[in-house]
Chains A and B, each alone.
Chain A
Amino acid sequence: MTFADVLSTVQAGRRSDGDRSALARTSIAVLAALLVLSFFFSLASGASDASAWQVFLEAAGLHTGTLQLSDRIIVFDIRLPRAVLGVLIGASLAVSGAVMQGLFRNPLADPGIVGVTAGASLGAVSFIVLGATALAPVSALLGLYAIPTGAFLGGLAITLLLYRVATRRGQTSVATMLLAGIALAALAMAVTGVLIFHADDQQLRDLTFWGLGSLAGATWTRNLMAAPLILPALAGTMLIARQLNTLALGEGAARHLGTDPQRIKMISIVCVAAATGASVAVSGGIGFVGIVVPHLLRLVIGPDHRYLLPASALLGAILLLFADAIARQIVAPAELPIGIVTALAGAPFFLWILLRKRGILDL
């Protein structure tokens, strides 16, 4: 099926009965298949020349011995944890964006743009720099999860503040949200700067990747740090998908339909903070995935969160795997931080949305 076919199906769906759920389910199935393909593509791409087919045979246990030992190590000990982390982070970023947009009732809301990522960075950096001194007792208690927890709390604080500032009587002003996001991000980055000023050389090396975002150095340990926050957060958002739909009518109408807006807000904010925090803790600030993915999907399957959220998870994972493949190959044998790749593609896309919908900023 060509892209034109898909588009005409979409148009036909709109003209006839306005029910896009079948189209959405088909899209999710296609995305799931694409994700499996992308995953093997990701395992096979890189400096070593193991082919995707060989990797698939090995992984499936169907035919062993086609890979050399060095390739096996590269594929299973280096690329596999990295690909798994890419899937986790991609899903987490895209779903966080979609939920935040549903909560703020605006397609421009994104954890990276409104400062949640900056808050999460501050939380993570606090534990890196002060983990051995001021925060030592907490750090010892939380162990492996100290940095993700710090990032979660940082992101949570910024999201709560942002909601307080930007929302009055259930109505969110886009201008206030974006401007408050800039101010909160600046504040978080300033405090982060103070902390970095106090960091020693080893800590500085640990900190460098936060600015740009990278999957480099992905290990099973990193996966273990992120998954316990990301997976429950993703599951939590799926539980409130239907209520997020009613929120699109405004808080009042949502309440009249039986939704408890306060409850949905709290669940959304905690889930977004957990998913964003965990992502930032292990891979730094990877931008624009949360804005590009849900926007593209809404054009095709519509804004129904029951389908938008799972589809976003899948497409976010696919996009991040591809961005990572590009990041590894474009300047090989060195590699570009993945955050640069997503920003190079995502920032123009963000501007394109603004140009198409200038009215969105109506103050």
Chain B
Amino acid sequence: MLIAEKLEVWLGRHRILSGVDLRARPGELVVVIGPNGSGKTTLMRALSGDLDYAGSAHLHGREIARARPGDLAAMRGVLPQHSTLSFPFTVREIVRLGLREGATDAGSSIVPAALDRVDLSGFEGRMYQELSGGEQQRVQLARVLCQVWSPVVDDMARYLFLDEPVSSLDIRHQIQIMEVARDFAQRGGGVLAILHDLNLTAMYADHVVLLRNGAVHAEGKPEAVLTDGNLRAVYDCPLSVNRPPAPGQVFVLPHGARGDAGADAAR
């Protein structure tokens, strides 16, 4: 179980997060949304052990800021928003980096399986630096999947931390990657994902945390959080939440496009 209480993070002289409470249970896909600068990535970095914080953050009872990198790595994988690579590794070599030290024979089947999950079968021999941005993002996800291949190990749920995992993907792969995340949660793992796409959030989240100015503005089930009032207040953008396609599911349509903002005013 991932539990953060009264989390507060300062970067320089700016308080980025204040009093954030968050719980991510195993088996749940928790999505963090909020406008640019609302503290989503800072929250993810604090929970990944990258930043100092005040308050507390525990993963399976371990204080994250004080845990050793190796112990955290056994409990969770992190997909950062941006990835860099300084030497010409092949796709296979990158994904292999996710395997725990000493994993060899078992690893040979995990690497191709992980690449298959992100729809990159047959890319093993390609040079990472020659891939497109979306392909690189999926290679990195395959590497993270390798690290936490089994969602549950010795009755301990493992976690996937995903910072905008679909930011540079086409619509087909956005769905596919979200399915990977949902599948991981359904098999007993925990998922904490940052998303910008409110419709993907509505479709996949079990629990939504809406951040505003470094604090939690609302949280709960998607239909409870994704409301006209919440979203207009937080994003400062005229929009409305609609309910057609499937019964009970919502979708969000911004009004700016094609002059719909006027329609909003007229209503």
Contact A19 B88 (CB under 8 A): no
Check B48 against A14 for contact (C-beta < 8 Å): no
Answer yes or no: A283 CB below 8 A from chain B CBs. no
Complex contact B83–A249 (CB within 8 A): yes
Q: A residues within 8 A CB of B84?
A: 249-250
Do the beta carbons of B88 and A303 come within 8 Å of each other? yes
Q: Which of A15, A242, A257 has the most CB of B within 10 A?
A: A257
Q: A250 CA to B140 CA in the complex, in Å?
A: 12
> In the complex the two chains form, is A248's CB within 8 Å of B100's CB?
no
Q: Which residues of A contact B74 (CB under 8 A)?
A: 258
| A residues less than 8 Å from B90 (CB atoms) | 14, 18-20, 302
Q: How far is the CA of A14 from the CA of B94 in the complex (A)?
A: 13
A255 close to B49 (CB less than 8 A):
yes
A15 touches B125 (CB 8 A): yes
Does B50 contact A18, Cβ atoms closer than 8 Å? no
- Interchain CA distance A246-B94 in the complex, whole Å: 9
Chain B window 24-55, contacts with chain A (Cβ cutoff 8 Å), 1 for yes, 0 for no = 00000000000000000000000011100000
Given contacts A17-B92, A19-B92, is CB(A253)–CB(B80) below 8 Å? yes
Known A17-B124, A20-B90; judge A256-B48 contact (CB<8 A).
Answer: yes
Query: Does A58 make an interface contact (CB < 8 A)?
Result: no
How many chain A residues have a CB neighbour from B under 8 Å? Answer: 30
Could you tell me if A303 and B69 are in contact, using CB atoms closer than 8 angstroms? no
Q: Tell me the bound Cα distance from A20 to B91 in angstroms.
A: 11
Q: Are B87 and A252 in contact (CB under 8 A)?
A: no
Contact between A19 and B124, CB atoms less than 8 A apart: yes
A71 an interface residue at 8 Å Cβ cutoff? no
Are B101 and A256 in contact (CB-based, < 8 A)? no
A260/B69 contact (C-beta < 8 A), A17-B125, A242-B101, A255-B49 known:
yes
A240 to chain B, nearest CB (A): 12
Q: In A297-343, which residues have CB < 8 Å from any B CB?
A: 298, 302-304
* Residues of chain B lying within 8 A (CB to CB) of residue A298: 87-88
In whole angstroms, what is the CA distance A250 to B93 when docked?
A: 15
CA distance A257 to B75 in the complex (A): 10
Q: Closest CB-CB distance, A276 to chain B, in whole Å?
A: 21
How many angstroms between the C-alpha atoms of A302 and B90 in the bound complex? 8
Complex Cα distance, B93 from A245, in Å, reads 9
A-B contact pairs, 17 of them (CB 8 A): A14-B127, A17-B92, A18-B92, A18-B126, A19-B90, A20-B90, A20-B93, A107-B87, A248-B85, A249-B97, A250-B80, A255-B49, A256-B80, A257-B147, A258-B74, A260-B69, A303-B89
Q: A residues touching B (Cβ–Cβ < 8 Å)? A: 13-20, 102, 105-107, 242, 245-246, 248-250, 252-253, 255-260, 298, 302-304
Additional 14 contacts, C-beta under 8 A, given A17-B92, A260-B70: A14-B126, A16-B124, A19-B93, A20-B93, A248-B85, A249-B84, A250-B84, A256-B72, A256-B77, A256-B78, A257-B98, A298-B87, A298-B88, A302-B90
